Structure 1
Amino acid sequence: MALRILHTSDWHLGHRLYGRRRDAEHEAVLRWLLAMVRAHAVDVLMVCGDVFDTGAPSAAAQEQYYGFLQELRQTGCRHAVILAGNHDSPSFLAAPKGLLRALGVHVITAPQPLVLMDPYGRPELAVAAVPHLRERDVRTAMPGACLEDKAAAWVRGVAAVYAEVMRSVRSMAPQTPAVALGHLFVAGSQVADGQGMRFAVGGVDRVPVEVFPACTYVALGHVHGAQEVAGRAHVRYSGAPLALGFADAGKAKSATLVTVEGEGRMTCELLAAPAPQSMVRLCGPLAQVEADLRRLVEVGGSVWVEVEVTSPEPADTVRRRIEAAVSGSAVDVLCVRVPRSPSLALGAAGERLEELSPEEVFRRLLDAHAVEEGLRPQLTAAFAELMDTVLQCGDQHAP
C-alpha cells in the first residue's frame, strides 16, 4: 500500500519583512498545508527545520504552530516529524515533545532513529532524523588547522552522524522503506542572491550529496528554493512555502508530495503554494522605476515593492519621487536603495586618507553621497557629538 509524505520546511513563523508583520500570510500558508494533507490523504508530514524565525518566537507565532498541529490531528495524518533548524531553539521545540508525542508529533532536536508504525502496529517507515548540526556536534576544535582540513573534518563528521542513525533505524526495521531528514547546505544546491543565507568562510559548512546513506528519499530544509540536489531525484529541498524576501518575489513556492510504494520506489509531485501577498522587486534608472510603479498603481491591489535606483539625484530626492509615484495607492514601497560608489575623492596627488581629519573625511562622504545642503548642518553636528563621545571613552580607558 502506498505511503504519502508531505515534505515542507522553512516556515519561519514570526518572520517580518522590513518591519512588516506576516502573520496573515503564514496563516494562509498553514491553512493551505492542512488542505493539501486532506486532499492527498497524507500519512506523514515532515517539517525539515526552521519552524520559527527566531529562537524566542512571538506569542502569535506559537499560537499558529500549536494550532496547526492540533488541526493536523483532525485530518487523518498519522505522523508529523518536526526537525529543529538553525533558526529554531532546540530547547524551546523540545519542551512540549512529550505532550506532542501523544498527538503523533515527533519533535527532533538531536540525531535520532525513528520508526513510524501503520494503523496495525507494523513498521511502515524508517526515519533517520538529523536536525541542524553545528561544528561542535561533529568534530573537536582544530586550532591552527587550515580551512581545507576543517571542511574535510566537517564532512566526515556529518557523514558519520547520518551513517550511525541510518544503521540504527535499519536494525530496528530492516525491511521497511527508509528516509533521511536534514537541515543543512548541500554543495550544488542553488541559492538565490539576496536570500539572506549565511555561509561559513571557506565553505566549511557545506557537504557533498554523498554524505547521505542509501535510502528511498532524503528530505532537506535550509535552502528556500524547491529543487533536487546534484541530479539526484530522491534528494530534495522542499523550499519555503512562502516567499521570505524579495529574492523570491514572483517565484513559485511549493511543498513536495512524496509517494512511497516500497523500498527504492518513490515519486515526487510539487504542490503549488498560494502567494498571499504580491511582491515585486524593481531595479533601474529613476524614470524607469517611476513608470513601473505607476503601472502597478494602475493595476490596483496590494503590492509590496523593493526598489533599487541608479540615479545621480540625492537619495532623499529619489525617495520623495518614489513616494509621490505611489501616493494614495495600495502599492507599498518597503525599501528604497540608491547605491553610491564607496570611493572617497582625494584632493592633491599623493594625498592619503590617514592625513585627513575625521571631520574632513565626513565632509567628503557627504559630497560622495550627494547629501542635500539643508541636511548637512544637522548631520555634521551629530557626527561631532559622536566623535566627542568616542574621544571621551578613549580618555577614560587610557593608561
Structure 2
Amino acid sequence: MKILHTADWHIGKKLQKHELKEDFALFIEWLCATIKSQAIEVLLVSGDIFDLANPSSEARTQYYKSLLKLRNLNCKIILTGGNHDSPAMLDAPQEILRNLDIEVIGGLPQDITQTLILVKNKAGDLEMIVVALPYLRDSDLRKGNEGVSYDDRVEAIREGIANTFKAAEALCKMQFPNIPVIAMGHLYTAGTETSDSEREIQIGNQAAFQASQFGEYFKYIALGHIHKPQRVNALVPTFYSGSPIPLSFSERKDEKRVLIIDTATGWEPQSISVPSFRKLIRVSGNLSQLAQSLNNLPGHDGLDHLIEVVLKEPKYDAQKIYQFDQLTSQFEKSGYQIVKNYTDFDENLQGTSALYESNQQLEDLKPKDVFIKLVDQQDLNQEDKQDILSAFDEILEEVQNPINS
C-alpha cells in the first residue's frame, strides 16, 4: 500500500497581506497528479488545514473543492486538526465526509478509539491502522489541578502527550494485534528547526516533546506543525513533511516536499519535491545596490515573485529612509511585487520605539515578544516573572486555540 504524507496546508494564508490561494490551488493540482501517477491509496494531512480558526468563506470553499478533487481519485483521505484549526469547525461535516471516505479528526474525541482509522486494501481486507491524533490542546492534556508550578505544568503537558500516544498504542495492540499501525501528530518535538510562520504551542514551545517517547511500536509517525521538512530523531521513522508552499520569507530556501511510504518495501519514506510555484526573494544592501538588484531581476512566467527589501546602512539617515520609500513605492516590474520592506541601521536613533529593532514591523511581532519586553521593564524577581509569563502563555493558548470556535 502506498501512503502520501503532507501537512500544514494553511488554507487562507496571507503573506504580508498577499493571498496565497493561487499557490495552494496549484499545489492541489500537482498533488492530484502525483497521487494518480504514484498510485497513492492513502493521503495523510497532519494538521493546520486552515491558517485561521475562523477561515473566510473563500478559504472554506477552496478546502471543500480540494477535497472533492482528491476524492475523485479513489484515495482514502485522513485529515487531522492543528493548532491553527478550530476543532468544532473541522468536525462539523464529519459524518458527511466519512461517507465520501474522507476521515476528519478536528479535536481529540472523548473516546480515543474514534481516532483509530481502519484502512482496507482493494480486496477489502484490513491492511493497516492509522491513529489520527490531532493537535492536543492543554485542556486535553492537563486534568484538574495537576501541577501548580510552571515546571509542573510543563511536565504535565509532556506526560499528557506521551500518555495519549501510549493509550492509542495499547488499544491497537489489544484490538488489532499483528496489524501495522501509523500514527499522526501535530506537535513540537525537541531539537527541530522552526521558521517565522509557526505559532508557538504548548506553553510557548517550552513543553517540547522528546521524540524517544513515541517508542518503537508505530511503523511510521506522520507529523505536522514544523514547516521545514525534516526527520525527527526517534526510534521509528518519524518525519515532518513540512508545509507544501513557503509561508514566510524565512522558508524561501526550503525545498518543499511530500513523503511517500510504500509498505511493500518498508516504512522509510521517499521524498518527492513540490514544484516552486513562485519565488520569495530577499534583496538587501544600500540604496544603489538595491536599485541595481531590483532593476536586474529577470523576467519569468507564472505567479508573481514576492520580494522582501532591506535597506542596510551604517548610520540612521532620514533622507535615505525617504529615498528608500520612494524606491519601493515606485517599483514596477512585471512578474514581481514588493510585499515587505524595512531598514537596518547599524546605529539607530533611540526614542519611544527603542524597545524594538529597526527592522521589526507590527505584523512581524509576536504577542509574547511584546509582553516579554513589557515584563522586562518591571521590577520583578525571576520567579514572579516566570509565573507571569506562564499565565500569559495559558491565556494566549486559549485565545489562539479556542476549543469551540
Give the one of 72, 75, 84 matched to 2:73: 75
1:306 corresponds, among 295, 305, 308, to: 308
Q: State the Cα distance separating 1:290 from its structure 2 match.
A: 2.4
Structure 1 counterpart of 2:166, from 163, 166, 184: 163
Instruction: Work out the percentage of aligned pairs sharing the same amino acid.
Output: 27
The equivalent of 1:286 in structure 2 is 287
> Where do residues 95-110 of structure 1 align in structure 2 (5 Å cutoff)?
95-109=92-106, 110=108
Q: Is residue 129–residue 165 contact of structure 1 (8 Å, CA) maintained in 2?
A: no
Q: How far apart, CA to CA, are the structure 2 residues paired with 1:308 and 1:344?
A: 18
Indicate the residue corresponding to 2:31 in structure 1: 33
Q: Is the 8 A contact 2:306 2:336 kept in 1?
A: yes
- Point out the structure with max Rg over C-alpha: 1
2:272 match: 271
Unaligned runs of 5+ in 1: 346-360, 370-399
Aligned residue number for residue 56 of structure 1: 54
Counterparts in 2 of 1:144 and 1:177: CA distance versus 1, 3 Å: closer
1:197-346 paired onto structure 2 within 5 Å: 197-198=199-200, 203-213=205-215, 214-230=217-233, 234-261=237-264, 265-296=266-297, 298-300=298-300, 302-311=304-313, 312-314=316-318, 315-324=321-330, 326-339=331-344
Structure 2 unaligned runs (5+)? Answer: 359-405
Per-residue CA deviations over 1:290-349 (Å, capped at 9, x if unaligned) read 2221221x445532101222233333331212344x33543211011114579765xxxx
Deviation at 1:104, TM superposition (A): 0.8
**Contact preservation (8 Å) 1:255, 1:273:** yes
Give the Cα–Cα distance (whole angstroms) in 1 for the partners of residues 241 and 309 of structure 2.
Answer: 29
AA in 2 matched with 1:313: D
Secondary structure of the structure 2 residue equivalent to 1:309: strand
CA contact (8 A) 2:218 2:236 kept: no
Q: 1:161, 1:327 → 2: CA distance?
A: 53
Query: One-letter code of the match for 2:177?
Result: P
CA distance in 2, matches of 1:231, 1:211: 8
Query: Which residue of 1 is the match for residue 21 of structure 2?
Result: 23
- What is the TM-score with the length of structure 2 in the denominator? 0.78
Aligned-pair distance for 1:204?
A: 2.9
Q: Does 1:87 align with 2:84?
A: yes
Tell me the equivalent position of 1:66. 64
Q: Give the root-mean-square deviation of aligned CA atoms.
A: 2.5
- Distance in 1, Cα, partners of 2:101 & 2:227: 27
Residues 15, 253 of structure 1: alpha-carbon distance in 2 compared, 3 angstrom cutoff: same
* Partner deviation per Cα, 1:145-171 (whole Å, 9 max, x = no partner): 443332222111110001001211232
What is the identity, as a one-letter code, of the residue corresponding to 1:229?
V
Cα distance in 2 for partners of 1:97, 1:199 equals 25
TM-score by length of 1: 0.79
Amino acid at match of 2:241: S
State the alpha-carbon separation in 2 of the partners of residues 222 and 284 from structure 1: 33
**Alignment partner of 1:120: what SS?**
coil
**One-letter code aligned to 1:122:** D
Whether the aligned pair in 2 keeps the contact of 1:50 and 1:84 (CA below 8 Å) is yes
* Offset of residue 234 of structure 1: 0.7
